[in-house]
Amino acid sequence: MRITHTSVFVDDQQQALLFYTGKLGFLVKHDVHAGGARRLTLVSPQAPEGVELVLEPAEHPAVAPFRAALVADGIPFMSFGVKDVRAEHERLRERGVHFVQEPTVSGPEITAVLDDTCGNLIRIAGPSTG
């Protein structure tokens, strides 16, 4: 058994698509229109056959209070691994990405937290380099 898909709830699929591809650099794997929503999955350019990120419409009534509680407490919904958090932080800031936590050493890793503009906080994490 292995993980093939993971979902992030988004307020607007088109806005999320623009952010995750245009700002973060993910690639579209599947974009299938199904009624009013889309089956929209993205992959990392470093692992195009890897785990797919599903941009899931945040329509279920439980989603809004769940995400609001996470954001209010500063808890990221998910984490993306990077080799160099400081370099990735700088690259994303130059692309206009807003960070709610600057790169911070936490034991053996460095983390930073960004706002995905679609209702979520996302952590980037990588090994601590000192």
Residue 71 has what pLDDT?
95
The hierarchical CATH code for the domain 5-127 is: 3.10.180.10
Between 37 and 25, where is the model more confident? Answer: 25
Instruction: State how far the Cα of 124 lies from the Cα of 41, in Å rounded to an integer.
Output: 19
Question: Residue 35 has what pLDDT?
Answer: 80
Collect all residues with Cβ–Cβ distance below 8 Å to 64 and sequence separation of at least 6.
58
pLDDT in tens, 71-105: 999 999 999 999 999 999 999 999 999 999 999 99
pLDDT above 90: residue 129: no
